[in-house]
Amino acid sequence: MNSKSVNNKWSWMLVVLSAVALLVFGSTRSSGPQTQADRIDAITKVLACPTCQGESVYVSRASAAESIRAEVARQIASGQRSDDEIIAYIEARFGSRVLLVPRSTGLDSLIWVLPVFALVCAVGTLGFAFRRWKVVGSDSISEEDAQLVERALREER
Amino acid sequence: MFAASGINGALGRAMLLVGIIGSLFGAIAAISSARQRDQAVAKLIPRFAILVFAAGFGAFAVMERAMITRDFSLAYVQKVGSVSTPAVFNFAAVWSALEGSILMWVLILAGYTLAVTFWLRKKMDDVLSRYALGVMFIVSMFFFVLSFGPANPFAAGPAGVFDGPGPNPLLQNHLLVMFHPPMLYLGYVGMTVPFAFAIAALITGRVGEGWLLATRRWTLFAWGFLTIGIVLGSWWSYEVLGWSGVWAWDPVENASLLPWITATAYIHSVLVQERRGMLRVWNLSLLVSTFSLTILGTFLTRSGVLNSVHAFSQSAIGPWLLTFFAVIVIVSVGLIGWRGDRLHSPGSIDSPLSREGAFLANNVLFAIFAFVVLLGTVFPLIVEALQSRTIVVGEPFFNRLTIPIGITMLTIMAIAPVLPWRKASQELLSKRLFWPAWCGVIALAGSVWVGATGLAPLLTFALGGFASGSALRQVVLATRRQGLRGLVGRANGGMIVHLGVIIIAVALAASNSFTHSQELNLEVGKVATFSGHTFELVDVTEEKTDRATAVKALVKVDGGKAYAPAITKFTKQGMNVGTPSVKTGLANDIYLTLEPPVRQDENKARIKVFIKPLLLWLWIGGGLMALGTLLAAFPGRRRKPTSPTSDDDFAADLLVTL
């Protein structure tokens, strides 16, 4: 291949277009009907096992988790409630400590807000640093380092 | 009986006491000789290092002896020892609870102290070496004291006990308990070495690059072991816990991940300092954070503040660890502040689109990643302290935040390896990224072809292909130029590690997103089908030993070999432990668990089947990461040593001459 064809704008367009097309097609097509087992898995993954410490109902083998799993399975089999309604029902029965996803209200919302805040701060600092470096431009070398390099070069010879 | 027990208890305590005294004198010798430049005192340092190691090794050996001879006069042996534990698990029982784990920490730390002393034996004239060893001795002393006092494994137990329950059942049904904790500790404790050098550099004010180059390989070594330890831990979770997962974002897992994240950030950003002399404060902070996170993690998980599935080891060492953590942070921050003037980085970064710019972006991401993991781990504590309410932060939270971080990291991994230092032109990028980008498109097309759906997994596969294209490009160019030597050295070994990481990312995305599971009620003689595979129950057996009763269901998968998921009831603990059985394959793992209730006489069994795509590749990726780390540790040949400070031998000389 010669570098001209590689640098070709058109081939890059082709890369981008095919990637976008594949992504759109792949992520929007349906993955087949959701089975009851899939629904049970999805729901139990966001419920905490009330007697264990920090494990989800999906993960836990404890008897409390077994009974919640059975209850979820029964609700899904009856086919009357949506996933969210089942989760709300389980929460009403066992209390909010069975929710594995922190709420987005009150103090709990901090767990969602703080990472975003940290990201904004970090990216902001980085952007600021790059701007400052651009202004400073030239390298200023400290005395110590200059001596270091000098000595090293002398020894090299 | 009593006489023999007295020996183990007394001998162990004596060893620990020798360790405390040895570390104390070692620290005094190292620091006083560093302050007064006293060569005679400095000569004593190696002897104290040998003494400390002998004490640590001796204490551990005594504990093993007590465990092997079933010396039930010790409270610890009463807690985790049992007459009926098989020899291998009995050996590993020493580190199955808190006191023994701290003892292993002591042993490994003493080993590192001796190894560093040996490595520095010809550079002992250097003040920096002495200060570094002083720090190692002080940290050793803390852990010896911890083991002697609040986490004493040699305390006498009540008399008249002749048998115990043995270790937690989860820790006695897979061989990985022999390897996962020691590997993890080799990584965890190994982070003390770069920390010691960082502190020594700050004290001596020689915050240039010499110390950093000298300790780079130690950091890489510890990082490699931490990686292996984490991968083995996931493997253990997969093979033992029976929920078919490898990572549950459990606080103990997070505690091992946190120092790994900051150490990974360091391994990357240190290259910027070597090459450009920048980011000094940042790199020092990363080393200090890594070490203090090992202490904080131990505090969080071993003091009982946070409860987790690993809660079988808790005691009153919390205040000790928290105090030590505070001291580390205060001293380090104080030293960094004190040396602020010398830490000012010369130079600047010309363009964000350069190797150093990419490393900075990588570091920002790793910092956010560490912050998210730490926040999620301690958040329940904060809520409980402020509002006395219990909340649970689990996998959904971590997945939601870490998946975007992971995808962004893959993007950087795709672009960064082809970037030159200083500045990259658009033509250069478009030329170098062209084939890697096509690798990404092909990977994406392939995954769409086999039926993958969902934006996050597809992005992972596409970027995984792209990033492996970039990594392979580097390796291919290097081997074409230098033959097999092109596989060693930091840059090339690093790319092998990248390939391992990419394989793990793809395997995680595939196995998390496309797992199917189904419960099957099997009967002998009938064939059930799920997801294109057949399952036939052959037999249900029961095996009784004096330790446990195991019920096994023999299930033929696809008409071939029979797999035997089991439920084992450990008699002494009254605990049921499920043992999954896995048919491993390159494309899919078929993971079988036996579900309760078990009715052994009816020729029936309830089996849960998980089909997990690409899961095997997690372990292959982990192996590749270990291999890459090993290759990266060998000194590679640089084409043009443009900067003298990037040469390894020079760094060693520097340490002597300075």
- How far apart (Å, rounded) are the C-alpha atoms in residues B269 and B46? 33
SS3 content of chain B, % helix, strand, coil (to 5): 65, 10, 25
Using DSSP's 3-state secondary structure scheme, residue B266 falls into helix
Q: Tell whether A6 is covered by a domain.
A: no
Q: Tell me the ipTM for this assembly.
A: 0.82
Can you state the angle between helices B395-415 and B455-482, rounded to 10 degrees? 40
Please tell me whether residues A63 and A91 are part of one structural domain: yes
Sign for the pseudo-dihedral over CA of B313, B316, B321, B326:
positive
- How far apart (Å, rounded) are the C-alpha atoms in residues B393 and B250? 9
- How far apart (Å, rounded) are the C-alpha atoms in residues A51 and A64? 6
Query: Tell me, what's the pLDDT at B600?
Result: 61
Please tell me whether residues A99 and A41 are part of one structural domain: yes
Q: Tell whether A31 is covered by a domain.
A: no
Please tell me whether residues A50 and A91 are part of one structural domain: yes
Query: Tell me, what's the pLDDT at B643?
Result: 41
Task: Classify residue B353 by burial, with Cβ atoms within 10 Å: 0-12, 13-18, 19+.
Answer: middle
Contact yes or no for A37 and B371 at CB 8 A? no
Q: Tell whether A88 is covered by a domain.
A: yes
pTM for this model (two decimals): 0.90
Q: What CATH number does residue A59 fall under?
A: 1.10.8.640
Q: Which of A9, A10, A15 to mutate to test the interface with B (most CBs of B within 10 A)?
A: A15
Of A63, A85, A103, which residue sits at a domain end? A103
**Residues 490-549, chain B: which have Cβ within 8 Å of A?**
515-519
Please tell me whether residues A46 and A99 are part of one structural domain: yes
Residue B517's beta-bridge partner residues?
B610
Q: Tell whether A46 is covered by a domain.
A: yes
Q: Does A83 touch chain B (CB under 8 A)?
A: no
Q: A86-142, pLDDT tens digit by residue?
A: 988 888 888 777 888 888 888 889 999 999 999 999 999 888 888 887 776 545 566
- How far apart (Å, rounded) are the C-alpha atoms in residues B494 and B444? 25
Please tell me whether residues A74 and A122 are part of one structural domain: no
Q: B522-554, pLDDT tens digit by residue?
A: 988 889 999 889 999 998 888 888 778 888 999
Query: Tell me, what's the pLDDT at B488?
Result: 85
Contact yes or no for B397 and A149 at CB 8 A? no
Residues 6+ apart with CB under 8 A from B266: B194, B219, B283, B286, B287, B290
Please tell me whether residues A98 and A116 are part of one structural domain: no
Q: Tell whether A13 is covered by a domain.
A: no
Please tell me whether residues A95 and A112 are part of one structural domain: no
Kindly give the parts of chain B with pLDDT less than 50.
Answer: 1-4, 308-313, 639-658
Please tell me whether residues A54 and A87 are part of one structural domain: yes
Sign for the pseudo-dihedral over CA of B362, B363, B364, B369:
positive
Please tell me whether residues A77 and A130 are part of one structural domain: no
Contact yes or no for B430 and A6 at CB 8 A? yes
Query: Tell me, what's the pLDDT at B651?
Result: 43
- How far apart (Å, rounded) are the C-alpha atoms in residues B453 and B649? 51
Domain tally, chain A: 2
Domain hosting residue A60, numbered range: 36-103
Q: Does A55 touch chain B (CB under 8 A)?
A: yes
- How far apart (Å, rounded) are the C-alpha atoms in residues B188 and B195? 12
Please tell me whether residues A72 and A90 are part of one structural domain: yes
Of A103, A124, A140, which residue sits at a domain end? A103
Please tell me whether residues A99 and A131 are part of one structural domain: no
- How does DSSP assign B217-229, residue by residue? HHHHHHHHHHHHH
Q: Which residue has the tokens 């395997």?
A: B507
Q: Tell whether A23 is covered by a domain.
A: no
Name the average pLDDT for chain A.
81
The secondary structure of residue B531, as a DSSP letter, is T
- How far apart (Å, rounded) are the C-alpha atoms in residues B381 and B93? 31
Q: Tell whether A11 is covered by a domain.
A: no
Query: Number of C-alpha atoms within 13 angstroms, CB side, residue B83?
Result: 6
Q: Does A123 touch chain B (CB under 8 A)?
A: yes
Residue A48's beta-bridge partner residues?
A56
Q: B594-627, pLDDT tens digit by residue?
A: 987 766 667 888 899 999 999 999 999 999 999 9
- How far apart (Å, rounded) are the C-alpha atoms in residues B106 and B115? 14
- How far apart (Å, rounded) are the C-alpha atoms in residues B229 and B75? 29
Please tell me whether residues A99 and A144 are part of one structural domain: no
The secondary structure of residue A57, as a DSSP letter, is T
Contact assessment for residue B202 and residue B284, using Cβ atoms and an 8 Å cutoff: yes
Q: Tell whether A147 is covered by a domain.
A: yes
Q: B57-87, pLDDT tens digit by residue?
A: 999 999 999 999 999 999 999 989 988 888 8
Contact assessment for residue B496 and residue B487, using Cβ atoms and an 8 Å cutoff: yes
Distance from CA of A151 to the nearest CA of B (A): 10
